[in-house]
């Protein structure tokens, strides 16, 4: 698996992971704006609630795919070593909360009132996971 990832990324695992995670983080910020419009907290003239909600769902699906790829790359290539403990914890929590949120959206509609809280948790965890890895890497932290 590690060799496959190395081949797919041409040996640039860190760089590819950084780009994908950064795209996911940027889309997550956009998600906040979209869902604020979706719930009617923001009311711009050029975007109505239904369109914002649908784009939020579509963009969320993209983020799920990106996060899944980055997480699999992390686990397969780096595993659970002693470095970056905070990154590992926030990443694992992100996957767990993400899975729970998807389950609420798809099946457990009775828990729909939790979606704003779950969405906020996903955003915070995604931001922390990005900051402790890609953000640190881009900042020259190594």
Partner 1 sequence: MSVDRERIAPRQLLGSILVALAIVAIVIVVVVARLGTGTGENRHDDSGGGKGKVEQRQSGDDGG
Of 34, 67, 97, 125, the residue at the interface with partner 1 (CB under 8 A) is 34
Compose the 102-141 pattern: x for residues touching partner 1 by CB under 8 A, - for all others. ----------x--x---------------------xxxx-
Minimum CB separation of residue 23 from partner 1 in Å reads 5
Minimum CB separation of residue 58 from partner 1 in Å reads 7
C-alpha distance from residue 23 to each of 3, 28, 85, 105 (Å): 24, 9, 23, 23
Size of the site for partner 1 (CB under 8 A): 34
Q: Sort 123 into a burial class: Cβ within 10 Å, 0-12 / 13-18 / 19+.
A: middle
Complex with partner 1: residue 92 or 104, whichever CB lies closer: 104
Of 1, 8, 48, 65, the residue at the interface with partner 1 (CB under 8 A) is 48
Tokens 């704003």 correspond to 116
Q: What are the b/e assignments for 61-80, b being 16+ CB within 10 Å?
A: eebbebbebbbebbeebbee
Q: Compute, in degrees rounded to 10, the torsion defined by CA atoms 69, 57, 128, 5.
A: 10
Of 32, 36, 39, 64, the residue at the interface with partner 1 (CB under 8 A) is 39
Question: What are the residues binding partner 1 (CB under 8 A)?
Answer: 14-15, 18-19, 22-23, 26-27, 30, 34-35, 38-39, 46-48, 50-59, 62, 112, 115, 137-140, 142
């Amino acid at each position: 698996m590690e060799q496959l990832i190395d081949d797919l990324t041409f040996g640039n695992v860190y760089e590819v992971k950084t780009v994908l995670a950064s795209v996911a983080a940027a889309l997550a910020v956009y998600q906040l704006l979209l869902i604020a419009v979706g719930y009617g907290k923001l009311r711009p003239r050029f975007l109505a609630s239904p369109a914002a909600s649908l784009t939020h769902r579509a963009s969320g699906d993209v983020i799920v795919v990106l996060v899944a790829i980055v997480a699999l790359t992390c686990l397969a290539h780096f595993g659970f070593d002693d470095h970056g403990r905070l990154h590992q914890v926030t990443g694992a929590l992100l996957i767990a909360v993400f899975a729970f949120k998807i389950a609420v959206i798809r099946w457990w509609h009775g828990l729909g009132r939790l979606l704003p809280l779950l969405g906020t948790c996903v955003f915070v965890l995604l931001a922390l996971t990005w900051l402790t890895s890609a953000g640190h890497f881009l900042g020259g932290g190594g």
